[in-house]
Amino acid sequence: MFTELMPLLRKRGLLLTISLVEDDTLRATILPQKASEADDKATTTPLAITGTPEELDRDLPHQLIEFVGAHLQLQSTLASVKADMDAAAKAAREEVRKKASRPATPTKAPVPDAPATPEPHSEPSLFSQPDQSQPDTAPVGCQNR
């Protein structure tokens, strides 16, 4: 039983209680203690097993292996999540600091496009406007004879 508890005991203290529930029924309770004040409440979830002495002799070691494994995984996951959150918060603070220290760049007003210039000389189309810069010529059919 204590061999199964050693990995968890290396991380935190454990409170072990064994009490008589009824005639020949026992309850074994293992309560992990907080390793620090910053510990999450989930890491101190107790394990309570009730059974006869024979049942506890047979089943308690297997239950302890699962319990210790779950606690160690939970501790590892919590540490990983906290590290990820700290890194994300640090990156966000750096981004804000960079934006605050960057001088404001003046925005340039867009330059309007120059008006389109007519092509120098092209064949007139049905919809083309007469060129006002050229002198008026006599209408067709009004020739001097």
Contacts for 18 with CB less than 8 Å, ≥ 6 apart? 26, 27, 28, 29
Please indicate, yes or no, if residue 23 is contained in any of the structural domains.
yes
60 assigned to some structural domain: yes
Residue 39 included in any domain: yes
Instruction: Give per-residue pLDDT as tens, 5-17.
Output: 788 778 778 888 9
Q: Which residues contact 104 (CB under 8 A, 6 or more apart)?
A: none
Judged against a pLDDT cut of 80, whether residue 142 lies above it is answered with no
Count of domains for the chain: 1
pLDDT at residue 143 tops 60: no
Residue 19 has pLDDT above 60, yes or no: yes
Work out the average pLDDT over 122-136.
Answer: 63
Looking at residue 31, what is its pLDDT? 87
> Which residues constitute the domain of residue 71?
2-101
Whether the full predicted model's pTM is greater than 0.85, yes or no, is no
- Residue 108 inside a domain? The answer is no
Q: What is the pLDDT of residue 116?
A: 60
What is the residue whose two structure tokens read 């002198």? 135
Rounded CA gap, 78 and 127, in Å?
77
pLDDT at 26: 94
Is 24 part of any domain?
Answer: yes
Higher pLDDT, 56 or 83: 56
> Is residue 61 a part of any domain in this protein?
yes
Residue 109 lies in a domain: no
- pLDDT bucket at 62, cuts 50 / 70 / 90: confident
Among 17-21, 95-99, 105-109, where is mean pLDDT lowest? Answer: 105-109
Give the three-class secondary structure for 78. helix
Domain assignment of residue 112, yes or no: no
Give the per-residue pLDDT at 107: 62
Split at pLDDT 50, 70, 90, the class of 133 is low
- The distance between the two most distant Cα atoms of the chain, rounded to a whole number of Å, is 143
* Strand blocks (E) in 26-80: 26-32, 47-51
Q: How far is CA 12 from CA 5, 26, 55, 98, in A?
A: 10, 25, 27, 42
